[in-house]
Amino acid sequence: MLLLIACICVSFDGFNFALAQKTYNGYKVYNVSIDTDQKLHFIQSFEDTDGYDFWLRPYPFGHFHIMVTPELQPGFEQELKSKSVEFEVLHDDVGLLLEKNTTVHSSKRKVRSVSHEEKAAAEFNFQYFPRYDEIVKFMENLVLNRYAKLINIGSSAEGRPIYGIEVSKYANNPVFLIDAGTHAREWASHVSALYIIQQVIENEEEFANKLNLVIIPCLNPDGYEYTHTTNRFWRKSRSQQSNRMCPGVDLNRNFDSHFGEFRSDTSNVCSRLFAGKRAFSEPESAALRDTILAYKPIAYLSIHSFGGYLLYPYGYTKILPQNWQTLDRIAKLVVERAKEFSGTEYKYGSAARLLYKASGASDDWAMDKGNVSLVFTIELPAYSDRAFIVPEDKIMTLVQETFETFLAMFNEIFNYTKSYTFSRT
């Protein structure tokens, strides 16, 4: 029996028998070149298959980045060759890459409570990726200023409170709502949202005079913690499912927007794209839904990582929303600012047209059922070729660039609102 349990622990990454960090020793990431429909269909047959993790999936053609377990690598390479698919090994040992990237001094991870006279912003210097308790403490320290307050929008499946920051000066100001950290492994999104919070609060008069802001930096705290303690590439939430060895739901497939129709799975609980048994089955997605309905924002931005895209609805259809020209104009100005600031080139457009069809996402729901006028999703750029593994010495570059894109979007949203009269009643 003990031997059987040991084998189960190795085979099923999702079930947390013991909090031992998965090493990913010997895992490889392949750069696979796809340039025909035949090759595309072939490579799609591996997607969401156990042992294969698609890190980058362009549409329809381009360079796919796929992480493969050691035991599947020989057969995978053989099949690629048999189909005349060009490939190269991008990383030959993901475990070693993680080990090199996550070595930090414990002194970096101290975020203490401060008095009113002290400046909390100096406590976290964006040199590493904080744990969830540090994220919360950081926000608590920052809300010593006039217009900012900590808000609790709900609790996760494991009972962690989901916090955000509200910066509000005038009750009737239009609201710009931002979330991050829907997918647990996308650490770049969490830390970018924290930097936006910091900069907004440090300059709150400038921002609060124009728009009210609600920023939720970690919608999926259970999954985020799990990526720190057990499995760095965990994507979903951590709710218990019928198969206890496969917990969690892809929160960005759990919204009531053509639920379960495209690039989502409602039956296989072990799938990375498992959407749940029904829309809003998860407390995290329900909390965001209720927050959007309560604040009635004029604009919504969901921060994800990675790819270098600025997307607007829809994801479930290639039909464009009625105000697509406004969305496209704003997106164009934002990506131009990103290129001007750092040279990074974002692609922009509707999600289904630029990438692929996917349904049940928060952005589509926000537009169609949350009645939000201006809706965007940003996929932050990859830094070097490490995808989710952003080098710690690149964090400040990442967050500063993301803030500039936010600032450009903020100003365009404010300009948009000047032509309209809004009421939150």
Catalytic residue numbers read 379
CA distance 408 to 346: 14
Q: Which residues contact 151 (CB under 8 A, 6 or more apart)?
A: 163, 164, 165, 166, 214
Nearest to 166 by CA among 202, 126, 212: 212
Q: What are phi and psi of 41, to 5 degrees?
A: -60, -40
SS3 per-residue string spanning the chain? CHHHHHHHHHHCCCCCCCCCCCCCCCCEEEEEEECCHHHHHHHHCCCCCCCEEEEECCCCCEEEEEEECHHHHHHHHHHHHHCCCCEEEEECCHHHHHHHHCCCCHHHHCCCCCCCCCCHHHCCCCCCCCCHHHHHHHHHHHCCCCCEEEEEEEECCCCCEEEEEEECCCCCCCEEEEEECCCCCCHHHHHHHHHHHHHHHHCHHHHHCCCEEEEECCCCHHHHHHHHHCCCCCCCCCCCCCCCCCCCCCHHHCCCCCCCCCCCECCCCCCCCECCCCCCCCHHHHHHHHHHHHHCCCEEEEEEECCCEEEECCCCCCCCCCCHHHHHHHHHHHHHHHHHHHCCCCEEEEHHHHCCCCCCCHHHHHHHCCCCCEEEEEEECCCCCCCCCCCHHHHHHHHHHHHHHHHHHHHHHHHHHCCCCCCCC
